[in-house]
Structure 1
């Protein structure tokens, strides 16, 4: 959620949608940058909240898997280790999210409490 708040709202030292969008476009070559910044921020913030609550768990986790797949393509030139900007961190989160896509939120999730079978 904090990374999404950085992208969407400029909180926690972030640059907001326009600043992040400019970085995505100018540095990463992702056009239109503002759209990719918005999409990444929405997934990070709202899917992060949904996963923390166990609400719409599989759908939220699928969004994270897709986002982390894109992040892997951005980080792969930097090698494995996160300390060098490598794939270690997005790979870990992508695999954790994939486990939630497969297994769901579990018996203590809001999905379970609300009887959602998503």
Structure 2
């Protein structure tokens, strides 16, 4: 999570880092919904961050990212 956040912030390996973070957050949402039987309670922040990371998985970095400067679009 730590390095994935840094990679997304600087735009290095944006899509793979966002996908890994999205997977982790969806596991936490599943944990709150299924194993704790709390419904939405406790999962709101994870859902919000998962939606943000889904945006980065779809769009990738922008033209100022390290990926764009290196000429690679992951």
TM class by smaller structure: 0.7 to 0.9
Within a 5 Å distance, the mapping from 1:1-118 to structure 2 comes to: 44-76=1-33, 77-81=37-41, 86-118=42-74
Q: Which runs of 5+ in 2 are unaligned?
A: none
SS of the counterpart of 1:78? coil
Query: How far apart, in 2, do the equivalents of 1:106 and 1:93 lie?
Result: 19
Question: Structure 1 residue 117: deviation in Å?
Answer: 1.4
Query: How far apart, in 2, do the equivalents of 1:78 and 1:106 lie?
Result: 38
1:28-83 Cα distance to aligned partner (Å, 9 max, x none): xxxxxxxxxxxxxxxx11111101111000000000111011010112233325xx
Q: Which has the higher contact order (CA 8 A, sep 6+)?
A: 2
TM normalised by structure 1 equals 0.56
Q: Which runs of 5+ in 1 are unaligned?
A: 1-43
Aligned residues: 71
RMSD after superposition = 1.2
Bigger Rg, structure 1 or 2: 1
